[in-house]
Amino acid sequence: MLPPPLEALHPPPPPVPSPLFLSLHARLARLQHAYEFGALPPLPSLPDPDDSDLLAALEDCDRVAEAMAAVKLRLHDVRLLLNAEWRSVLHGAPRVFGGASLRVSESLIPGAGLGLFARAAVPAGATCCCMYGDVHSLSSHRSAPGTGAYAILLPLAAPPKRAPPLPAQGGDAILDCEGVPAFARVKARFANDPRSAADTNCRFVPELEYLRARLVASRDIRAGEEVYVDYGEAYWARHEGGGPNTLRN
Ligand SMILES: C[S@@+](CC[C@H](N)C(=O)[O-])C[C@H]1O[C@@H](n2cnc3c(N)ncnc32)[C@H](O)[C@@H]1O
């Protein structure tokens, strides 16, 4: 018997952020400001004591380049702390990776490595499975040590006013499953990009409050078909096709 559709497992609204999450969120915002403007954040937001070494260096013209490189690394490290804290806040919420009705096998795209195939028909609008990972901003992802092969760029809608802080809110976010504890179980990472709109049969729908994106059928998918999703041009500007570890730069 097929598992229940993932919609039936939809979790409750995201939990309330913990005090640690809130303080990491504020710290990240100060680092992000410093990274984007190459300057100290405006008063009254004082640098976090843990980052005062970096932020003080930004005041010294001779040390700005060095400080910016260090800020970029720190942004990544604080992002991972934020993701880990949010994972513990989410503890108990269903993670819903799904994928029991999908199988992983050699892709039909020559040289693309493994791919994802539907075991049974999937109707348009149904969720095939979930991509699960760490949420990054474009800048915090620049220092990620992985290949970036399993990182997807997700445009986000602006949040409602006075929404509580979440791992990502508005603008562009990156969801990267490389390095997360559940990596081996995330089948969504095997979906390839056919690089043709006509062949694409799925799209990612962000649910970053759960550190995930749903892989949703954009048309009816027949049993046995390979599942394809458009990664976007930004992905292919950085990667060559042909296996998961073919980083261009
Ligand atoms: C998210 S992974 C998909 C799973 C991957 N095929 C594997 O075996 O792990 C993305 C990588 O798959 C490969 N890929 C995806 N679509 C491709 C295509 N149209 N042509 C060639 N390689 C592709 C590229 O190496 C890309 O970096």
pLDDT tens per residue across span 133-164: 999 999 999 999 888 999 999 988 887 777 88
pLDDT tens per residue across span 156-192: 888 777 788 888 887 789 999 998 888 888 999 999 9
Categorize the per-residue pLDDT at 8 as very low, low, confident or very high, splitting at 50, 70 and 90: very low
Q: Which atom, in ligand 1's list, is nearest to the CA of 242?
A: 22
Q: Which atom, in ligand 1's list, is nearest to the CA of 191?
A: 3
Residue 192 CA to ligand 1 centre (angstroms) = 5
CA distances to 46, 108, 188, 192 from 245, in Å: 41, 18, 17, 13
Give the binding-site residues of ligand 1, using a 6 Å CB cut-off. 107, 109, 111-115, 149-150, 189-190, 192-195, 239, 241-244, 246
- What's the full length of the chain, in residues? 249
What ipTM, to 2 d.p.? 0.99
Domain ranges of the chain: 19-89, 95-238
Backbone angles phi, psi at 127, to 5 degrees: -90, 125
pLDDT (average), residues 31-53 = 78
Categorize the per-residue pLDDT at 44 as very low, low, confident or very high, splitting at 50, 70 and 90: low
CA distance 33 to 41: 6
Categorize the per-residue pLDDT at 248 as very low, low, confident or very high, splitting at 50, 70 and 90: very low
Return the closest-CA partner of residue 229 out of 240, 248, 238, 216: 216
Question: CATH number of the domain at 95-238, please?
Answer: 2.170.270.10
pLDDT tens per residue across span 11-27: 566 778 999 999 999 99
pLDDT value of position 92? 66
- Using a 10 angstrom Cβ sphere, with 0-12 exposed, 13-18 middle and 19 or more buried, the burial of residue 36 is exposed
pLDDT tens per residue across span 92-115: 665 667 778 899 999 999 999 999
125 pLDDT above the threshold of 70: yes
5 pLDDT above the threshold of 70: no
